[in-house]
Chains A and B, each alone.
Chain A
Amino acid sequence: MSLDVRVVVPGRVEAAFTSPLGETVAVIGPNGAGKSTLVGAVAGLVRAGGHVRLGKEELTERTVRDRRIGFVFQDKLLFPHLSALANVAFGPRSRGTPRRAAEQTARDWLERLGIGDLAGRKPGQLSGGQAQRVAIARALATDPQLLLLDEPMAGLDVRVATALRIELAHHLAAYGGTTLLVTHDALDALTIADRVLVLDEGRVAQFGTPAEVAAQPATEHVAQLVGLNVLRDGDHFTAFPPSAVNVSLDEPAGSARLHWRGTVTNAAPHGEALRLRASTESGPELIADVTPAAATELSLAPGRAVWLTVKETAVRRY
């Protein structure tokens, strides 16, 4: 029994995957990779060719309503004229549950998400994190057979997102249904998901467990998300951590086989170190960790021309 999806939206997405029922699949990829289009098509909100099968059920020809999905939208789309309680009760009531029972269900869900005391508030009176909790409660209150979350942490500040991520993992585990989670955050993908689907330019670049994807990323984007440099040559990948990259101003002498001339494009603190992003003349964008002392000594700021070298012993090939 599995979720079997094939989505074709000409010019934007052509992707297929199969995942066991009850699992959480994280969909990651850069902006414009087609993540939202993919989940939109699974929900029936985006017109697409292909098929969507959930276990024995064929959802392809069904209307959005009849697919029995839960959808958490990127911009939440809480009904602004209804209270948090009425928003969450909207689903059960639409499915024919009497008003009182629907409101009781809604109250239970708000409690479970820790916002029972906000039931009477309108969406405009909620903070970003609170509104996202209401949106998650609203989607789960319909008891969907398939839950779709489109960047549920987008637009939340880091502290709120971290707290919500932990809760979300907890709720998804309790939910037990099949989940598609669109995210641009490696943490979401690696901590919450059972499987990771990597989209690149509308196509599936990789589909595997979080451990597989983190250890052997198939795209530069994912590699950077998980903090690895990955060079691709046909079917062969060369990976090395940013800490193994040596940065210098002069062309390195000696035997180092892997070296590039590049320009620093970004520098930001990363733990004890300073993480540099550099574009290279020969193509790949690399990340390198240097000590603050070295960064000061070499004046490593965006725009600075540098040489990047990697010791062969730090490289993994697959």
Chain B
Amino acid sequence: MSSDRLGRPPALLIVPAALATLLLVVPLVSLVARTPWRRLPELLFTEEVGLALRLSLLTSTVALAVCLVLGLPLAWFLARTDFPGRSLLRALVTVPLVLPPVVAGVALLAAFGRTGSVGGPLRDLTGITLPYTTVAVVLAHVFVSMPFFVISVEGALRTADPAYDAAAATLGATRWTTFRRVTVPLAMPGIVAGLVLGWARSLGEFGATITFAGNFPGTTQTMPSLVFVELQHDQEAARVISLVMLAISIGVLTLFRDRWLGTP
């Protein structure tokens, strides 16, 4: 390795780097090591886990679709157009990234709750209430994962050379054609990376979901909520469900890593 020629890495860097690795790896290894393999089938193949898994996959996938349909245009506006207040808009989009999830849940209640600023009029007009429904789970997921998606895609759009947009315009393409046939294909690796990031964030979402949508098996109880419930009375069950989520996460990561994320 060429860095060897510059001398050994200093101990002052080796020790913290090793500690960082341990901190990240030990919990995951422990989770796998302490899996009650013998009880696994009985703990895993229950109606509750089946319902939660189905709901988690459904809501995170729908949330992802919403992110793509609404978030991609937003990312395009942030990356490719110039309008007053663009920096402010970008700042607002990033707020949910740093917001505690439970606060996100409270904010969603304030907006879409029975008496919320949108939820109140909605109930008066149509009789529909959102909290504690599967739609609320999706809303919570969208709220927390959209910023990941938008920021990641905006970065990808900025890296894709805008000169290609200019070339397309000289060839007679409208901005929509350019978006569809040039910009999006060129930014595709970044878009997929954003989808993976957003989906992972959505799958793991707990705080906003339980605050805004509750924890009812079959309608709003996602995998993380189920883990939280199981932890109260059967830690082994909680570990088994967590193992499933770990497996899903690693599976998605390896599936997309080689093809899109570009890092070995």
Show the binding face of A for B, using Cβ within 8 Å.
43, 45, 63-65, 68-71, 73, 75, 77, 79-81, 90-91, 94-95, 138-139, 142
Most chain A CB within a 10 A radius of its CB, from B167, B169, B173, B174: B167
A68-B172, A71-B170, A90-B171 known; 14 new pairs, CB 8 Å cut-off, are: A45-B166, A65-B173, A65-B174, A73-B163, A73-B167, A75-B163, A77-B164, A79-B164, A80-B186, A81-B186, A94-B173, A94-B177, A139-B170, A142-B172
- What total of A-B pairs shows CB separation below 8 Å? 52
Most chain A CB within a 10 A radius of its CB, from B163, B173, B174: B173
- Please judge, given known A-B contacts A90-B181, A94-B174, A142-B171, whether A64 and B186 are in contact too, CB under 8 Å: no
Does B185 have its Cβ within 8 Å of any Cβ on chain A?
A: yes
Does B182 have its Cβ within 8 Å of any Cβ on chain A?
A: yes
| Chain A residues with CB under 8 A of B253 | none
Does B57 have its Cβ within 8 Å of any Cβ on chain A?
A: no
Between A and B, 17 residue pairs with Cβ closer than 8 Å are: A45-B166, A63-B169, A65-B170, A68-B172, A69-B170, A73-B167, A77-B164, A79-B164, A79-B167, A79-B182, A81-B185, A90-B171, A90-B173, A94-B171, A94-B174, A95-B172, A142-B171
| Chain B residues with CB under 8 A of A91 | 171-172
B interface SS class: helix
Q: Are B185 and A70 in contact (CB under 8 A)?
A: no
| Chain A residues with CB under 8 A of B167 | 71, 73, 77, 79
Does B58 have its Cβ within 8 Å of any Cβ on chain A?
A: no
| Chain B residues with CB under 8 A of A68 | 172
| Chain B residues with CB under 8 A of A95 | 172
CB distance from B29 to the nearest CB of A (A): 41
| Chain A residues with CB under 8 A of B93 | none
Does B261 have its Cβ within 8 Å of any Cβ on chain A?
A: no
Which residue of B161, B172, B186 is within 8 Å of A94 (Cβ)? B172
B143-194 contacts to A (CB < 8 Å): 161, 163-164, 166-174, 177, 181-182, 185-186
CB distance from A147 to the nearest CB of B (A): 10
- Shortest Cβ distance from A63 into B: residue: B169
- Please judge, given known A-B contacts A73-B163, A79-B164, whether A43 and B181 are in contact too, CB under 8 Å: no
> In the docked arrangement, what's the CA distance between A65 and B186, Å?
21
| Chain B residues with CB under 8 A of A75 | 163
| Chain B residues with CB under 8 A of A94 | 168, 171-174, 177
| Chain B residues with CB under 8 A of A79 | 164, 167-168, 182, 186
| Chain A residues with CB under 8 A of B161 | 77
CB distance from A75 to the nearest CB of B (A): 8
| Chain A residues with CB under 8 A of B164 | 77, 79
> In the docked arrangement, what's the CA distance between A68 and B171, Å?
8
> In the docked arrangement, what's the CA distance between A71 and B167, Å?
8
Most chain B CB within a 10 A radius of its CB, from A45, A65, A91: A65
CB distance from A155 to the nearest CB of B (A): 16
Most chain A CB within a 10 A radius of its CB, from B161, B172, B173: B172
Q: Are B170 and A64 in contact (CB under 8 A)?
A: yes
Q: Mark B211-249, 1 if CB is under 8 A from A, else 0.
A: 000000000000000000000000000000000000000
> In the docked arrangement, what's the CA distance between A73 and B164, Å?
10
- Shortest Cβ distance from B184 into A: residue: A81
- Shortest Cβ distance from A96 into B: residue: B172
> In the docked arrangement, what's the CA distance between A95 and B177, Å?
10
> In the docked arrangement, what's the CA distance between A69 and B174, Å?
14
CB distance from A144 to the nearest CB of B (A): 8
CB distance from B163 to the nearest CB of A (A): 6
Q: Are A43 and B170 in contact (CB under 8 A)?
A: yes
- 7 smallest beta-carbon distances between A and B, as pairs: A91-B171, A71-B170, A94-B173, A64-B169, A77-B167, A94-B172, A95-B172
Q: Are B168 and A90 in contact (CB under 8 A)?
A: yes
> In the docked arrangement, what's the CA distance between A120 and B43, Å?
55
CB distance from A78 to the nearest CB of B (A): 8
Most chain A CB within a 10 A radius of its CB, from B169, B182, B185: B169
Which residue of B163, B169, B170, B177 is within 8 Å of A70 (Cβ)? B170
> In the docked arrangement, what's the CA distance between A158 and B185, Å?
35
> In the docked arrangement, what's the CA distance between A68 and B172, Å?
7
- Shortest Cβ distance from A67 into B: residue: B170
Q: Are B182 and A65 in contact (CB under 8 A)?
A: no
CB distance from A95 to the nearest CB of B (A): 5
CB distance from B252 to the nearest CB of A (A): 24
> In the docked arrangement, what's the CA distance between A80 and B186, Å?
8
Which residue of B171, B174, B182, B185 is within 8 Å of A138 (Cβ)? B171
CB distance from A229 to the nearest CB of B (A): 39
| Chain A residues with CB under 8 A of B171 | 90-91, 94, 138-139, 142
| Chain B residues with CB under 8 A of A73 | 163, 167
| Chain B residues with CB under 8 A of A142 | 171-172
- Shortest Cβ distance from A76 into B: residue: B167
> In the docked arrangement, what's the CA distance between A50 and B256, Å?
51
Q: Mark B183-207, 1 if CB is under 8 A from A, else 0.
A: 0011000000000000000000000
| Chain A residues with CB under 8 A of B182 | 79
| Chain A residues with CB under 8 A of B169 | 45, 63-65
